[in-house]
Amino acid sequence: MMTQGFGQRLADATAARGPLCVGIDPHPALLSAWDLPEDAGGLERFALTAVEALAGEVAVLKPQSAFFEVYGSAGVAVLERTIAEARQAGALVLLDVKRGDIGSTMTAYAMAYLDEHSPLAADAITASPYLGYGSLAPAIGIAEQTGRGVFVLARTSNPEGAGLQRSVHGSGDSIAQYIVDSAAETNAGADPMGYVGVVAGATIKPGELDFSKLNGPILAPGLGAQGATVADLRAVFGPALPQVLPATARDVLHHGPDVGGLRSAARRVRDDLARLLVA
């Protein structure tokens, strides 16, 4: 079990290394670009090269579970090793699994990714609340017990999500705002911030969501290939900018397989973010 909660550990990591999350997304096109075979061996070389290059440089690494699962048990074994080696090198690992279910099934997912005895245990996971925010209670409870985190999808960067996420909830707010406010209730009183974050794309409209009560981290995908720039972050998130964990993947990964190239690309983004925060 962690001796500190996830909110504190994330705050410490971003203070030391800057607020950057880099995805480890072994997409077939990237494997090909790195001249690697589209099999478990190529997957392992890709993922461990990314860990070697980046785990000592950035605060958070975010493996996309689907790109490992597609290779079956061999791919899941690579994912286990990727998580372990990234954490050993000092990075926090946010496992992008986007799980969402009910009851005992949600509990099983939470045990798989958040229980300290699981070989797949990460520092945090992404989760989908679209079976009801309350359906995530098992994951949120286990995360609290083990000092880990949960990032709940609120207003995602994909265009298809807008219609649902902007729909009006029974509270009168948008569904996305309801999710942010629900996370805020869990995080109330936490210092420096709580362990339940939200996912809100860096491509959303400025002012679309009110994060003033969240008291938790905001994972902001969409930086780089999806069109958002470092400069956009201040406009989109405003006063909540210190809580934002911007995420990028392809803009860094396409500099591989050269370890030095990957590190240099991550450092450039990290340094741009640092300048934004002091501007």
Q: What is the pLDDT of residues 15-40, one digit of tens each?
A: 999 999 999 999 999 999 999 999 99
Active site amino acids: 98
Beta-carbon-side half-sphere exposure of residue 263 (alpha carbons within 13 Å): 10
Task: Give me the chain's average pLDDT, please.
Answer: 95
What pLDDT sits at residue 5?
95
pLDDT at 226: 72
Can you give the pLDDT at residue 225? 67
- Whole-Å CA distances, 100 to 76, 104, 105, 125, 177: 19, 12, 9, 11, 18
pLDDT reported for residue 1: 63
Residue position matching structure tokens 């090269």: 49
Q: Is 33 left (phi over 0), alpha (psi -120 to 50) or beta?
A: alpha
Q: Report pLDDT for 158.
A: 86
Structure tokens at 99: 């799980």
Q: Which CATH architecture fits 6-278? A: Alpha-Beta Barrel (3.20)
CA distance 106 to 114: 12
Place of tokens 């926090």: 92
Question: Tokens 């880099």 map to which residue?
Answer: 22
Give CA 15 to chain center in angstroms. Answer: 17
Quick one: average pLDDT of 137-161? Answer: 95
Which pTM value belongs to this model? 0.96
14: phi then psi, degrees, rounded to nearest 5: -75, -30
State mean pLDDT over 76-91: 98
What's the pLDDT at 162? 85
Q: Measured in whole angstroms, how far is the alpha carbon of residue 248 from the centre of its chain?
A: 10
Q: Which one is predicted more confidently, 6 or 171?
A: 6
The predicted pLDDT at position 135 comes to: 97
Distance CA 42, CA 64 (A): 16
Condensed to tens digits (0 to 9), the pLDDT of residues 208-251 reads 999 999 999 999 998 876 778 888 899 999 999 999 999 999 99
Q: Using alpha carbons, select from 62, 52, 77, 80 the residue that is nearest to residue 26.
A: 62
Q: Which segment of 28-32, 113-117, 168-172, 179-183 scores lowest on mean pLDDT?
A: 168-172
Assign 172 to helix, strand or coil: coil
Q: Are 256 and 32 in contact (CB under 8 A)?
A: no
How many residues in total does the chain contain? 279
Which band of pLDDT confidence, cut at 50, 70 and 90, is reported for residue 9? Answer: very high
Please tell me the distance from the alpha carbon of residue 65 to that of residue 152, in angstroms, as a whole number: 16
